[in-house]
Amino acid sequence: MTQRVVITGIGALTPLGVGAETLIERWSAGESGIEDGLGRCREFEPTEHLSIKEARRADRFTQLAIVACDEALTQASWEDGPSVDPERVGCVMGTGIGGIGTIEEQLEVLRVRGAEAVSPLAVPMMMANAASGVVAMRHGLKGQCYGTVSACAAGAHAIGAGLRMVQHGDVEACVVGGAEAGITPLSQAAFVGMGATSPSGTSRPFDARRDGFVMGEGAAALVLESEEGARERGAEVLGYLAGYGATADAHHLTAPEPSGEGASRAIALALADADIGPDGVDWVNAHGTSTQLNDRSETEALKRALGERAREIPVSSLKSAIGHTLGAAGAVEAAATALALRRGIAPPTIGWEERDEDCDLDYVPGDARTLESNGRPLRAISNSFGFGGHNAVLCLEAA
């Protein structure tokens, strides 16, 4: 039997503020962190958390990752380094793009001042694996360490990779998550150019009037441990990471496969991995981007994977409150899922008002809803899908 894997630390830095509790508190209250059509982490001030040296050597996406990981590790009582053999602690952080702010800035330096003026810090700042490397260095984590890159599924893939690592016994614990700071001129223009973002600047997942996603930024992290190890050291168990499923659409560079086939296979794999059926799922934290294509095909995927049960389960999208944090989204949403399960609630899909005939599930309009536990621990799935046809689904269970 494989190891059960528990969550012993949660950290998040999002447009709703600094801290995981702030995220769940404000989302549950129906508050939005989106302003002027963007989900920026406006409350984040790097020098409040990092030394001058740390801040100037880290692209914003890495800065966000550092703060989220610090919070998660502090909650796990590992702020001064892990209490287990550090060679048995891994770190996997996902990102969609990596240090795009650094790339854009240094390209300007190259053009204006020439090649010799390009910063020696450019490479270590722009590389997509910087977040995992810097976090491992900061906390002395010496096990497997790498970044995952799968667009908007990257954070979920990172968590899935960490889950397998712990289950397999490669490590005793793994710090996992995702980070993105892609609200930059080139990145914004590129998403606008492909017609993915909302011209109205509104994130309205599953609503008939939705017109694209709102760009967000942020980071989140979880500390995963074997249940045995966590219990032995007396760590508080915040929840279980019960299952993981990942597939590819093999269909189109950006458009999801319309029938939701690939996504539904990922959901089915995650449920099988958690050894449960559709009846064992109480809530869906959807990918729900607010694009026409995603929300329709995700609805199809849920119906395919969960059958009739899909109509009974509340389906919420955090992107209604913070926009789309791209490569961080899978991690931010997994963190929010774990926290919502602890509270026994399904937070709302903010702004959902008009039913789309192709999106005919219960999207939790209005207020947060209490979840019925049915005499067993509450469970939820957290969906993440990325350009390139990447599908990653996590199944979480309340402690």
Write down the least CB distance from residue 105 to another protein, Å.
14
Asked whether the CA dihedral 306, 312, 318, 321 is positive or negative, the reply is: positive
Among residues 69, 139, 157, 324, the one annotated as catalytic is 324
Write down the least CB distance from residue 46 to another protein, Å.
13
Q: What is the DSSP string of 351-364?
A: T--SBBTTB-SB--
Each residue 173-192 as x (binds another protein by CB under 8 A) or -, in order, gives --------------------
Triad 18, 230, 20: Cα angle to 5°:
10
Does residue 288 bind another protein (CB under 8 A)?
A: no
In a 13 Å sphere around the CA of 3, the CA atoms on its Cβ side amount to 23
Does residue 29 bind another protein (CB under 8 A)?
A: no
Helices (H), 140-285: 154-168, 185-193, 227-232, 261-273
At 380, give phi and psi (nearest 5°).
Answer: -145, 155
Write down the least CB distance from residue 124 to another protein, Å.
7
Q: Which two tokens stand for residue 163?
A: 């889950």
Interacting residue with another protein among 45, 48, 56, 355 (CB under 8 A): 56
- Which region, judged by CB under 8 A, interacts with another protein, from 52-60, 177-185, 210-218, 271-279? 52-60
Q: How many whole angstroms separate alpha carbon 151 and alpha carbon 248?
A: 13
Q: How many whole angstroms separate alpha carbon 99 and alpha carbon 91?
A: 18
One-letter amino acid for residue 199 of the chain: P
Closer by beta carbon to another protein, 36 or else 116: 116
Write down the least CB distance from residue 217 to another protein, Å.
24
- Comparing CA positions, the residue from 261, 292, 276 lying closest to residue 381 is 276
- Which region, judged by CB under 8 A, interacts with another protein, from 54-62, 140-148, 262-270, 290-298? 54-62
Write down the least CB distance from residue 66 to another protein, Å.
15
- Which region, judged by CB under 8 A, interacts with another protein, from 48-56, 60-68, 144-152, 378-386? 48-56
Write down the least CB distance from residue 58 to another protein, Å.
12
Does residue 48 bind another protein (CB under 8 A)?
A: no
- Which region, judged by CB under 8 A, interacts with another protein, from 50-58, 71-79, 174-182, 349-357? 50-58
- Asked if 152 and 333 touch (Cβ cutoff 8 Å), the reply is no
Q: Measured between alpha carbons, how far apart are the two ends of the chain, in Å? A: 20
- Which residues touch 7 (CB under 8 Å, ≥6 apart)? 222, 223, 224, 237, 238, 239, 240, 241, 338, 396
Among residues 139, 157, 287, 390, the one annotated as catalytic is 287
Q: 152 an active-site residue?
A: yes
Does residue 52 bind another protein (CB under 8 A)?
A: yes
Among residues 41, 91, 145, 152, the one annotated as catalytic is 152
* Site for another protein, residues 107 to 146, rule: CB under 8 A: 116-117, 119-121, 124
**Residues designated catalytic:** 152, 287, 324
Q: Which residues bind to another protein, rule: CB under 8 A?
A: 51-54, 56-57, 116-117, 119-121, 124
